[in-house]
Amino acid sequence: MTMEQRADPSWATDAGWVEEILLAGRDDQVCFRLHDIIDRATLRRLVADRRDRLSAAGLRPGGAAALRLPPSIAYVANLLAVWQLGAQAILLDYRLTDHEVEQARQRLSPQVSVAPVRVAGGLRVFFDVEDAITRHGDEPAGSEHAVVQLSSGSTGPSKVIGRTAADLIAEVRRYTQIEGVALPGERIILLPSMTHVLGLVGGLLYGLHAGVELVPPQRLTGDSILDAIESADSPATVLGVPFHITLLNATAAQRRPRQLRRMITGGELVPAATVAGFLDRYQAPLGNMYGMTEVGVIGTDLDGSHRPAVRPAPGITVRAQDGELQIARAATPYLGEAVPGRWSEGWLRTRDAGVVDPATGLVTILGRLDSQVTIGGMQVDLAEVESSIGALPGVVAAVVLFDEAIVAYLQLEQRHRIEDVEARLATQLARFKQPRVFRVFDQFPRTATGKLVRDPAALRAGAA
């Protein structure tokens, strides 16, 4: 895009899509069920108020606003207001450091930024937030994307990813065609961050579009999640990541809410033992969703019948090329500096190893492409080693990497020892596959989206 094009706001998103796709519906239709009920009429008023404030602060059509807000109604209202103004929303996780935020601001040049001046809520999933707007300048946005996100950075530095309004709308409509998603009149127990793609599109945008109530638990605990499920009679779908399954499996009381329709997880593969524990405990389907920040939802298995495979979402084309899963995309999703080799000739490389069944079209994810290593002339799949360790009794989380040797980073339940893990593993894996080094965390480091950190340098530093 030339500077002349960037200075011309004519490309800016028409505010009409926000009303048509996200805010349409009866005034009394419930959008959020918190300590107060937020219906359509209330949400429209909140968005209009934020829109006036952002405009007065200097946000213009074709500009950009950086939102650094925790999950809250303030976040939702500001996000929709930015889009109504025909501006770009840059989503910054509120847990980033000031240094990381400043780096992002210098790179993306927002006209304004919105950040909290007061946050109340402790360990809540949704917070009470008082926000303030800071003006930075008049430079137009650097691209025509409606939203700019940073990847989770679980395997290294974050990438800057842009998605257009048309792309977001297409994904929201894609959700309506997936069998097993929450239906109008039902509820989504919303656990993932709305800064990232699962919570943003699969939770917030789909829920608003489809007329599904969004219910964040009062606190991020297993019991509080169960309280949210039982807070109304309508069917409830829990949307989260594997970490949230662990919370539910660890609840002390044997509660089995009749309103629980299913749980859907994304983010990473779920250990077999965790799946078995959930199914035994709750007698409800545990669905799987595979996606990327760059694309959104790619494939789903919402009743768990194809695990570990998923079926491509409507309109998504997946192929396996040289053992790597690739997604058809018309343009690169990356902004600024190119990500070498990630997108070429209409195909996005996922860096995930996998296969596509030619008969059924089912996609099986086998782990990261870089998980294949050679030890003493023997091929070792680190994903297999990691899965074997993760299924052992007492293992809460496990990441296996090759760092001059096979290294296993673990979090164990109390009263379980690393010696027990090593002894059990010796009976299940050939010696050349077994880790040479075990490092144990009291609390395994996770990304902002709840994924286990896989960056070797970060794990080495944390373990040290």
Token digits for 20? Answer: 């048509």
The pair phi, psi for residue 194, each rounded to 5°, is -80, 0
CB 347 within 8 A of CB 329: yes
- At residue 194's C-alpha, the angle toward residues 216 and 230, to 5°, is 15
What domains does the chain contain, in order, with CATH numbers?
3-29+36-163 (3.40.50.980), 167-305 (3.40.50.980), 317-369 (2.30.38.10), 376-463 (3.30.300.30)
Q: Are 182 and 212 in contact (CB under 8 A)?
A: yes
Residue 170 pLDDT: 95
- Angle of the 73-84 helix axis to the 40-57 helix axis, nearest 10: 60
CA distances from 135 to 16, 54, 63, 210, 414 (A): 26, 9, 12, 35, 49
Single-letter amino acid, residue 286:
L
Q: pLDDT tens, position by position, for the chain (464 residues)?
A: 333 333 344 434 466 899 999 999 999 999 999 988 999 999 999 999 999 999 999 999 999 999 999 999 999 999 999 999 999 999 998 888 888 888 888 889 999 999 999 988 766 789 999 999 999 999 999 899 999 998 755 444 568 899 999 999 999 999 999 999 999 999 999 999 899 899 999 999 999 999 999 999 999 999 999 999 999 999 999 999 988 998 999 898 888 999 999 999 987 778 777 898 899 999 999 999 999 999 999 999 999 999 889 999 999 999 999 889 999 999 999 987 656 788 989 999 998 889 999 999 999 988 777 677 877 667 788 878 888 898 888 888 889 998 888 999 999 988 888 998 999 998 888 888 899 999 999 888 887 667 788 888 889 887 76
Measure CA of the first residue to CA of the last residue in the chain; give whole Å.
45
Contact by Cβ (8 Å): 454, 401? yes
Kindly report whether the peptide bond that precedes residue 116 is cis, defined as omega within 30 degrees of 0: no
Tokens of 157: 């530095």
| C-beta of residue 173 within 8 angstroms of C-beta of residue 205 | no
Longest dimension (CA), the chain: 67
Q: What is the pLDDT of residue 3?
A: 30
Tell me the C-alpha distance between 32 and 81, whole Å: 17
Question: CB under 8 Å to 166, separation ≥6 — which residues?
Answer: none
Neighbours of 135 (CB within 10 A): 13
pLDDT of amino acid 377:
65
Integer CA distances (angstroms), 87 to 251, 381, 431, in order:
43, 45, 57
What are the DSSP calls for 106-142, one per residue? HHH--SEEEEEEEEE-TT-SS-EEEEEEEE---PPPS
Strands (E), 270-346: 286-292, 296-301, 309-312, 318-321, 324-328, 343-344
3-state secondary structure of 311: strand
